[in-house]
Amino acid sequence: MNGDFATTGLIFKEALLWEKGKKGRTAFSMPAADVPPAKELPEALQGEGPDFPDLSELEVVRHYTRLSQWNYGVDSGMYPLGSCTMKYNPKIHEKLAALPGFASAHPLLPESLSQGALQLMFELQEMLKAVTGLDAASLQPAAGAHGELCGMMLFDAWFRSQGEKRDRILIPDTAHGTNPASAALCGMKPVALASGEDGILHPEAVAALMDDRTAGIMITNPNTLGLFESHFAEIAAIVHAKGGLVYCDGANMNAVMGYVDMKRMGVDVMHFNLHKTFSTPHGGGGPGAGPVCVVEKLAPFLPVPRVVKREGGYALETEAPLSIGRLHAFYGNFGVLLKAWAYIRSLGPELKRVSEMAVLNANYIRASLKDFYDIAQDRVCMHECVFSDKNLKSFGVSTLDVAKRLIDLGFHPPTVYFPLVVAGAMMVEPTETESVEELDRFIEAMKRIRKEAEESPDLLHEAPQRTRVRRLDETAAARTPCLCGGM
C-alpha cells in the first residue's frame, strides 16, 4: 500500500445552533404584508412562540456546510456497509425530483390534474412486478421495515378472511433485525429458526416447527450471511402445505435481479428497499421507500389507494373491501419513488448486469481476504461476505478496532457485529458501482490492518485518530441521556 489514502483535512469546529446568533437577526426573506392584520386570537389561544435562535443567512450556510464536512458518504469513498447496498446515487435524480411539476404538487389535486405522477407510480408498480415475477404491487410503505409491517398485516388480513387467527411466525437467525419487531406489531410471536452449519435453512427444520397455528415464515433471501437460500422452494412448499404464507425480505434484492423469480420460488409477499436496490440516496437515515409485491390471492388486501390504469387515464382506486387500509397519509414517499423509477428506466434489462457485478465484486473481496480474516462461510457468496475477528482475538484486537482503523485509512467500515450468528461479524457489501482498483485499495487496507493487528495493535485500539472526534462514550450517552440541548 503506497502511503495512506486519507489525510487530516482542514476541519472546522462548529457550535450548536443555539450557541450562535443574536436576537433580531434573520435568514428568512419575509414576504411583505399585503393584507390587513387579522383580529388577534382569543388570549387563551395565544402562545409565546418557540425559543429558536435568530441567525443570519451566512451563519446558517456556514453551520451546515461545516457539519456536512464531518460526514462520510458514498460520494466521499467506498461504503461497504453490509446489507445496506450503498451504491452510487445518480445526480440526475435530484434534478428530476426537484422539477416544480412534482416538487410542488399537492397530493389532493384531482386525478385529471395529477396524471404525470399517477402514470409514474403505475409504471413503477409494473416494473417492480417485472423484476420479481409477482402479480401486484403497492408503493405505500415508507421504508423497508414499513414494508415488512405491511406484509405482516397482509398475512393477518388473509387469515382473518379465512376465518383464522394465526399468532406464530417462523423467523430464521439469518433474517434482518427488524423482522421480529414487525411481526410483533401485528400480534404475532416470532419463533426462532436456526440455520444449518452451512449457513442456510434446511427443510427439516422448517417442517419440525411449521403447524396450523403458524402464519408462515419471513426469510431474508439472499440471507445476512450473503448466501442464497437454496432450499427456498422446498421450504415454501412445506409452509404452504400447512396453510401458511411465505414472506421474503427483499432488502438484498441487489444480488439476484434477472436471476430469481420470486413467484416460482414460492414467495407470497416481498418488500423492496428502493433506497438500496434502486439507488435512491439514504440521506443519513431516510427517507426511503419499501414497496411490497404480492401474489394474486393477496392483491385484494393491499393498502389503499392503489394506482390503476383505466380507459382515459390513471386513477386512484380506493374501493377495496378486503384492503388492510391506509399505511401512510396520501400515497407514500412519492419523491423517492420517482428516483427509483428513473434508476430502473436508466438501466432496464441491464439490472441483471447490476446484480452480476455486485456479486462479482463481493466474491473478489472474499477470495482476496479469506486467507487474512476468518470467513464465516468459505464458498461462493452473493452480494456480500461475512468475516469475523476470530483469528485476531489473540492479539487483543476486535472487529470494532478493525472498523475504526479502516476509517483512518479512508474507508467507511463494513456492518459490524451483525448477523448475530457470527461472533464479531464484519459484513462487507461492496456493491457493483465500485471499480476493481477501488476494491484493490480496500483489500490492501484490510491486509495492512491485519498486519498491524499483529505488529502494532495499539494503532487499532486508538483509531480513529484523523476524524473530528475520536471514539465516543456510548455507555455514558445511554446511562445519562442528553437528548435535547440548551436545557
Residue 292 interacts with another protein (CB under 8 A): yes or no: no
Residue 435 interacts with another protein (CB under 8 A): yes or no: yes
φ, ψ dihedrals at 345, nearest 5° = -65, -25
In the complex, least distance from residue 300 CB atom to another protein, rounded to whole angstroms: 15
- Distance (Å, rounded) from C-alpha 70 to C-alpha 64? 10
Residue 452 interacts with another protein (CB under 8 A): yes or no: no
In the complex, least distance from residue 273 CB atom to another protein, rounded to whole angstroms: 8
Kindly state the DSSP code that residue 304 receives in the 8-state scheme: S
Interaction with another protein in 372-391: which residues (CB under 8 A)? 380, 382
Give the up-direction half-sphere exposure of residue 240: CA atoms within 13 A in the CB hemisphere.
Answer: 14
For another protein, the binding residue among 2, 7, 9, 31 (CB under 8 A) is: 31
Q: Estimate the crossing angle of helix 351-369 against helix 436-455, to 10 degrees.
A: 30
Question: Residue 340 in contact with residue 278, Cβ under 8 Å?
Answer: yes
For another protein, the binding residue among 151, 281, 291, 430 (CB under 8 A) is: 281
Interaction with another protein in 297-316: which residues (CB under 8 A)? 303
In the complex, least distance from residue 423 CB atom to another protein, rounded to whole angstroms: 16
Interaction with another protein in 195-224: which residues (CB under 8 A)? none
- Distance (Å, rounded) from C-alpha 269 to C-alpha 298? 8
Residue 271 interacts with another protein (CB under 8 A): yes or no: no
Size of the site for another protein (CB under 8 A): 206
SS3 of residue 128 by DSSP? helix
In the complex, least distance from residue 451 CB atom to another protein, rounded to whole angstroms: 20
In the complex, least distance from residue 317 CB atom to another protein, rounded to whole angstroms: 15
In the complex, least distance from residue 119 CB atom to another protein, rounded to whole angstroms: 6
In the complex, least distance from residue 355 CB atom to another protein, rounded to whole angstroms: 9
In the complex, least distance from residue 14 CB atom to another protein, rounded to whole angstroms: 8
Stretch that binds another protein, among 205-213, 239-247, 364-372, 388-396 (CB under 8 A): 364-372
Residue 12 interacts with another protein (CB under 8 A): yes or no: no
- CA nearest to 330, candidates 169, 1, 109, 34: 109
DSSP per position, 424-469:
TEEEE---TTS-HHHHHHHHHHHHHHHHHHHH-HHHHHT---SSSS
For another protein, the binding residue among 208, 286, 454, 458 (CB under 8 A) is: 286
Identity (one letter) of the amino acid at 38? A
- How far apart, in Å, are the Cα atoms of 209 and each of 40, 176, 215? 66, 20, 11
Interaction with another protein in 42-71: which residues (CB under 8 A)? 42, 44-55, 57, 60-61, 63-65, 67-71
Residue 352 interacts with another protein (CB under 8 A): yes or no: yes
Residue with cell 465500485: 434
Contacts by 275-278 with C-beta closer than 8 Å and gap 24+?
275/143, 275/336, 276/84, 276/85, 276/144, 276/251, 277/85, 277/250, 277/253, 278/339, 278/340, 278/343, 278/344
- CA nearest to 273, candidates 254, 249, 289: 289
Looking at the Cβ atoms of 110 and 312, the one nearer to another protein is 110
| Cα 118 to chain centroid, rounded | 25
- Distance (Å, rounded) from C-alpha 68 to C-alpha 181? 32
For another protein, the binding residue among 3, 7, 10, 36 (CB under 8 A) is: 36
- Distance (Å, rounded) from C-alpha 157 to C-alpha 244? 13
Stretch that binds another protein, among 35-43, 205-213, 387-395, 448-456 (CB under 8 A): 35-43
Interaction with another protein in 319-348: which residues (CB under 8 A)? 324-336, 338, 342, 344-348
Interaction with another protein in 91-130: which residues (CB under 8 A)? 92, 94-110, 112-117, 119-120, 127, 130
Interaction with another protein in 70-89: which residues (CB under 8 A)? 70-76, 79, 81, 84, 86-89
Interaction with another protein in 148-187: which residues (CB under 8 A)? 148-149, 152-153, 156-157, 177-178, 180-187
